């Protein structure tokens, strides 16, 4: 197992280098000039030459790429062309929002998707099964932006004044006080990795509120994330439900299920302990793959619900030709993909003892 993990981590390096190279080249092949995107009508030839010289854009692509890789190896992700801020600070401000949203959406989609798939498989060819699959098909077909708007209309306007009313946008209710951990811990002058970690914790409203013991703020932040998590997680929920149903139907035909029933085990034990456990491998695989969909779907969801996450930041960076920011977020998302796939592969050995990873 240790050798397998070490080998996968080593393979991460060429994967990251390849992703970085492709992203680096494609961004520079996109029509447009960062100088003209930033300066607009003030973009004279003299100012643009000074601008390109300042950010090293006059050099050839191989020289720029070598310089960028060298900086990354030193822990420097560069400076944003658009606002002149360190990219690590931009990451630390935007990433926690998207991670919170993706985590809650994954929990929502996995919990209800697996439950719906199990119920559908157990009640195969009944009205419950047909209704569940119709719901799953509708869930796959609904665009994220449309579903987000409908949820906001129903729970913020139609149910206004009821216990079911939910906030339609933002991270916290206006006027809510939640100080940064940098100021709370007296670490305003922190630098490097320490500053990045504390900024990440500070901008994760849920973690920040828990660390400071402000449970009312935690509950308020959680309420603001319910509608976005449901909107971005519904498609994944439908896919997981359909995969769970198929895996369960296949497992229910196996001999060990008939043996378990012949032993006199109650039906709940047969379904949960024997059937579902043996059907988990394809389910876990599809959940891992859906994390990518949740991250990509966050672009539209964050726009609809006015959430300051990486989705809106990446779109703004692409429009402004802010190369360092786009490259940093691309590599970060790629690392998340690889790590999730590694966790999924390792989980196979624990879900099914017959599988041995070597």
Chain segment 247-257, per-residue pLDDT in tens? 999 988 888 88
Widest CA span in the chain: 85
Show me where the domains of the chain are located.
2-73, 88-351
pLDDT of res. 45: 75
Cβ–Cβ under 8 Å, residues 109 and 314: no
What pTM was estimated for this model as a whole?
0.83
- The Cα 155–Cα 228 span in angstroms is 12
pLDDT of res. 296: 64
Tokens standing for residue 332: 């970060």
Question: What residues contact 227, with CB distance under 8 A and at least 6 apart?
Answer: 148, 151, 152, 155, 156, 166, 167, 168, 305
Chain segment 180-222, per-residue pLDDT in tens? 888 888 887 777 778 888 888 888 999 999 999 999 999 999 9
Length, in residues, of the chain = 358
- The Cα 193–Cα 198 span in angstroms is 9
Report, as an integer, the average pLDDT of 162-180.
86
Alpha-carbon radius of gyration of the chain: 24
Cβ–Cβ under 8 Å, residues 304 and 148: yes
Which residue in 106, 125, 342 sits closest to 239, CA to CA?
106
Average pLDDT, whole number, for the chain? 83
Which residue in 44, 30, 16, 19 sits closest to 322, CA to CA?
30
Which helix (H) or strand (E) is 309 found in, with range? none
Which residue in 209, 137, 139 sits closest to 180, CA to CA?
209
Chain segment 98-152, per-residue pLDDT in tens? 889 989 999 999 999 999 999 999 888 899 889 988 888 888 888 888 888 899 8
Cβ atoms within 10 Å of 16's Cβ, excluding its own = 16
Cβ–Cβ under 8 Å, residues 193 and 183: no
- The Cα 155–Cα 162 span in angstroms is 9
- The Cα 241–Cα 116 span in angstroms is 6
Cβ–Cβ under 8 Å, residues 26 and 18: no
Question: Considering only the top CATH level, what class is 88-351?
Answer: mainly alpha
pLDDT of res. 46: 76
Tokens standing for residue 18: 């390849």
């Amino acid at each position: 197992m240790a050798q397998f993990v070490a080998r996968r981590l080593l393979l991460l390096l060429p994967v990251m280098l390849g992703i970085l190279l492709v992203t680096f080249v494609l961004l520079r092949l996109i029509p447009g000039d960062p100088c003209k995107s930033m300066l607009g009508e003030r973009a004279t030839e003299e100012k643009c030459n000074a601008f390109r010289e300042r950010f090293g854009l006059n050099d050839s692509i191989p020289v720029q790429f070598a310089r960028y890789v060298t900086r990354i190896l030193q822990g420097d992700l560069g400076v944003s062309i658009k606002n002149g801020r360190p990219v690590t600070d931009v990451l630390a401000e935007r990433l926690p929002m998207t991670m919170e949203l993706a985590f809650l959406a994954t929990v929502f989609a996995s919990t209800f998707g697996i439950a719906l798939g199990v119920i559908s498989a157990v009640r195969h060819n009944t009205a419950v099964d047909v209704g569940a699959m119709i719901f799953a098909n509708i869930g796959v077909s609904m665009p994220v932006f449309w579903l987000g708007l409908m949820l906001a209309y129903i729970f913020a306007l139609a149910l206004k004044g009821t216990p079911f009313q939910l906030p339609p946008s933002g991270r916290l209710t206006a006027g809510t006080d939640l100080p940064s951990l940098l100021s709370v811990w007296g670490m305003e002058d922190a630098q490097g990795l320490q500053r990045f970690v504390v900024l990440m914790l500070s901008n994760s409203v849920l973690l920040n509120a828990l660390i400071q013991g402000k449970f009312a703020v935690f509950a308020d932040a959680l309420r603001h994330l319910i509608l976005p998590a449901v909107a971005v997680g519904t498609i994944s929920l439908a896919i997981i439900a359909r995969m769970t149903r198929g895996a369960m139907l296949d497992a229910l035909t196996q001999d060990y299920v008939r043996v378990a029933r012949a032993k006199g085990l109650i039906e709940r034990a047969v379904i949960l302990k024997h059937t579902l456990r043996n059907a988990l491998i394809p389910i876990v695989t599809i959940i891992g793959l859906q994390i990518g969909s949740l991250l990509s779907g966050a672009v539209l969801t964050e726009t609809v619900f006015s959430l300051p996450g990486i989705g809106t930041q990446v779109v703004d960076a692409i429009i402004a030709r802010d190369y360092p920011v786009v490259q940093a977020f691309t590599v970060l998302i790629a690392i998340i993909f690889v790590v999730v796939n590694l966790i999924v592969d390792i989980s196979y050995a624990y879900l099914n003892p017959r599988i041995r990873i070597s």
